[in-house]
């Protein structure tokens, strides 16, 4: 009995205690190994020069706003799958609009659409596994819309500069973000004078039920056209919004949240729409929508815009 107790005391005394700093070191080494293995797998999956090009962009824009999207020799589906987590061509919408594509396609149209986001840091609900941990910022919706417009032969300019940086450099408060995005808009027009249609893509803070519709078992982010009433172009832009909404409801009534007229106390009322009679704020879904739901709706929105431009230029 004495020997047993002595052995136990001996074992207790000899129990090894690992210093905490060594545990931290081991944890750090483990994380490095995981990151290394992830990069090896990612490189293998992306394969070759295109994969390296994409990886550089992914790292360079790790805050979520993918801006450098012109990859040499890459189909658009590559961008959608690896940056947005969306299978562009495989995940078809149940709303059938592809049948009219050839009728709407406009040949050799210059950059006429300007797409920007006054509130670039607003985010949709993310699917982190599909998007390599990139948050689904509203700026992604802009690039996606630009890609869909390209399918119709419509050239677009998607704003790549940071509204936040402009606000800092010009001492513009967040509450006056439209003044900052206005600077970028005017700069873009100076570079590309052919711009004619201006869309500020935003998202709503309404509940999921208000910003979503289920069509034949597939969920879509609803689309709302917003017109400011406190500017000199109000009447023209209201007519512009009404026409787009009519085209949209002709495709799917359920997808539209209508046209919202906003002005007076509590509203900005201008939204940079005094710049042109073809300038709108468009809300595609809300903070509770996924980028997949937004993607489906953007396909339809591109069709709507293309239809309008086709009719106006006929």
CA 145/CA 81 separation, integer angstroms: 15
Are both 103 and 160 inside the same structural domain? yes
Are both 292 and 256 inside the same structural domain? yes
Whether 3 is covered by a domain: the verdict is: no
- pLDDT at 34 (0 to 100): 81
Task: Give, for 254, the enclosing helix (H) or strand (E).
Answer: none
Whether 40 is covered by a domain: the verdict is: yes
Whether 132 is covered by a domain: the verdict is: yes
Whether 259 is covered by a domain: the verdict is: yes
What pLDDT digit, counting tens, does each position of 179-198 carry?
999 999 999 999 999 999 99
Whether 66 is covered by a domain: the verdict is: no
Are both 89 and 43 inside the same structural domain? no
- pLDDT at 94 (0 to 100): 58
Are both 192 and 49 inside the same structural domain? no
Domain that includes residue 28, residue range: 18-60
- pLDDT at 37 (0 to 100): 76
Low-confidence ranges of the chain (pLDDT < 70): 1-23, 38-108, 127-134
Whether 109 is covered by a domain: the verdict is: yes
Which of 282, 249, 244, 294 minimizes the C-alpha distance to 144? 294
CATH of the domain at 118: 3.40.630
- What the block records as the tokens of 80 is 């959608």
Its sign, for the CA torsion 269, 272, 278, 281, is negative
Are both 27 and 159 inside the same structural domain? no
- What the block records as the tokens of 61 is 């824009």
Q: Cβ-count burial of 14 within 10 angstroms (0-12 exposed, 13-18 middle, 19+ buried)?
A: exposed
CA 310/CA 139 separation, integer angstroms: 26
Are both 27 and 160 inside the same structural domain? no
Task: Give, for 104, the enclosing helix (H) or strand (E).
Answer: helix 101-104
Q: What is the DSSP track for 218-260?
A: EEEE-EEEEEESSSTTHHHHHHHHHHHHHHHHHH-GGGEEEEE
| Total tally of structural domains belonging to the chain | 2
Are both 53 and 113 inside the same structural domain? no
User: DSSP letter at 135?
Assistant: -
Are both 102 and 211 inside the same structural domain? yes
Q: Cβ-count burial of 23 within 10 angstroms (0-12 exposed, 13-18 middle, 19+ buried)?
A: exposed
- Strand positions, DSSP E, 100-145: 111-116
- pLDDT at 148 (0 to 100): 96
Whether 7 is covered by a domain: the verdict is: no
Are both 52 and 172 inside the same structural domain? no
CA 118/CA 185 separation, integer angstroms: 10
- pLDDT at 41 (0 to 100): 60
Residue whose structure tokens are 């979520």: 64
């Amino acid at each position: 009995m004495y020997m047993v107790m002595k052995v136990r005391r001996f074992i207790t005394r000899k129990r090894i205690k690992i210093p905490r700093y060594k545990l931290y070191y081991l944890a750090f080494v483990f994380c490095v190994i995981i990151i290394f293995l992830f990069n090896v797998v990612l490189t293998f999956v992306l394969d070759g020069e295109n994969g390296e090009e994409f990886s550089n962009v992914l790292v360079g824009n790790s805050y979520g706003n993918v801006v450098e999207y012109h990859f040499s020799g890459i189909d658009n589906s590559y961008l959608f799958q690896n940056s947005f987590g969306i299978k562009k061509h495989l995940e078809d919408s149940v709303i059938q609009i592809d049948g009219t594509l050839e009728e709407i396609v406009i040949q050799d149209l210059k950059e006429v659409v300007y797409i920007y986001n006054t509130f670039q840091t607003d985010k949709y609900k993310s699917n982190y596994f599909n998007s390599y941990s990139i948050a689904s910022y509203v700026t992604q919706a802009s690039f996606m819309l630009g890609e869909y417009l390209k399918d119709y032969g419509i050239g677009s300019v998607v704003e790549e500069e940071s509204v936040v940086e402009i606000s800092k450099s010009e001492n513009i408060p967040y509450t006056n973000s439209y003044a900052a995005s206005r600077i970028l808009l005017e700069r873009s027009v100076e570079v590309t004078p052919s711009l004619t249609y201006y869309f500020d893509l935003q998202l709503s803070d309404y509940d999921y039920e208000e910003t979503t519709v289920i069509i034949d078992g597939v969920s879509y982010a609803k689309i709302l056209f917003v017109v400011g009433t406190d500017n000199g172009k109000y009447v023209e832009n209201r007519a512009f919004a009404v026409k787009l909404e009519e085209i949209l409801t002709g495709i799917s009534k359920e997808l539209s949240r209508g046209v919202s007229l906003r002005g007076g106390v509590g509203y900005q009322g201008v939204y940079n729409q005094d710049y042109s009679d073809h300038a709108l704020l468009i809300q595609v879904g809300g903070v509770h929508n996924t980028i997949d739901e937004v993607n489906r709706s953007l396909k339809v929105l591109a069709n709507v815009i293309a239809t309008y431009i086709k009719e106006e230029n006929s």
